[in-house]
Structure 1
Amino acid sequence: MIGISKAILEKHPDWRDKFWQFVRFGVVGTISSAIHYGVYCLVLLVANANISFTAGYAVGFVCNYFLTTFFTFRSKPSSHNAIGFGFSHLINYLLEIGLLNLFLWIGAGELLAPILVMIIVVPINFLILHFVYIYKGRK
């Protein structure tokens, strides 16, 4: 089985690159999500869930931009990817805050709701960012 996988990857080196790019995205996403959730939990001690989520999102956003740019997509900061990243995260934030409030409304609890949100939005965010960094960069 390993020989077959190796043969396929040798025929399609772009698949190998995409696979490792996705792995790097997962690592960056895990780090950024942990930062986001940690800040959320700290701010939740003194503020409501929406304010806490927004504070965590803002701190995670800054870390995420630099890690995504340098590590995931092996790029350099530019006005193009900063604008694309910011716009994608505006869409992502609106989706996340909506889902957070939905999960809170159905009784998921303030500690569980953001975790459920992150599980849903991570694949969506990868597709959006892939478009920003890869597709747009080819023009």
Structure 2
Amino acid sequence: MTLLRSSQLRQIVRFALVGVVNTGTFYGFYLALHPWMPYFLAYTVAFVLSMIGSFFLNTYFTYRTRPTWRKFLLFPLTNLTNYVVTSVGVYVFVEWAHMNDKIAPLVAAAAAIPFTYLLSRRILTRGGAQDEAVLPEQPSAPAQDYAAPAGRG
């Protein structure tokens, strides 16, 4: 039982780290695009770009699973809740609360974190027994098993 809790705790910590990287990536895209398009379009494009990065970070790093086309196609469904919560939040904060449109996406994103974790975990760990065997929590195989074959590079 303690091992399960410990494993889940490490997974949550990894999810949080990916979240920080993903938020920074999203925000960088948002700031770069904002001068060229309306804030909500910049927000949407930045969201999609960072979601693609989030998929790969979460499959390899957070949940230690192998990315598949099925998971890639389902992953946006897990982020739909995130998108709805943060989109409504951005709109409400900017239009009704008159919050700065450069800060509103960060504030809105905080409310969506628990939903995103639970839904992404469900999608990315479906069939997890097979995936976990491929990408173990703590690799015990020699490093060369994970490296590129000799003579390539």
The two structures have a TM-score, normalised by structure 2, of: 0.77
The one of 95, 113, 120 aligned to 2:104:
113
Q: Which residue of 2 aligns with 1:13?
A: 3
Over aligned residue pairs, what C-alpha RMSD do you find?
A: 1.6
The letter for the 1-side match of 2:51 is: F
The letter for the 1-side match of 2:13 is: V
Within 2, Cα distance between the matches of 1:55 and 1:115?
Answer: 15
Q: Which residue of 1 aligns with 2:69?
A: 79
CA deviations 1:14-64 (Å, max 9, x no partner) are 111000000100111111110001110111112111011011111101110
Do 2:14 and 2:62's aligned partners in 1 also have CA atoms closer than 8 Å?
yes
Greater Rg over alpha carbons, structure: 2
Within 1, Cα distance between the matches of 2:29 and 2:124?
Answer: 27
Q: Percent identity among equivalent residues?
A: 21
Within 1, Cα distance between the matches of 2:119 and 2:80?
Answer: 11
Q: Does 1:122 align with 2:95?
A: no
Q: Does 1:100 align with 2:90?
A: yes
Q: Secondary structure at 1:45's aligned position in 2?
A: helix
The letter for the 1-side match of 2:110 is: I
Runs of 4+, deviation exceeding 2 Å:
136-139
The letter for the 2-side match of 1:74 is: R
Q: Which residue of 2 aligns with 1:132?
A: 123
Number of residue-to-residue matches in the alignment: 128
Q: Name stretches of at least 5 consecutive residues in structure 1 with no aligned partner.
A: 1-10
Q: Which residue of 2 aligns with 1:90?
A: 80
Structure having the larger proportion of residues in helix: 1
The two structures have a TM-score, normalised by structure 1, of: 0.85
Q: Secondary structure at 2:127's aligned position in 1?
A: helix
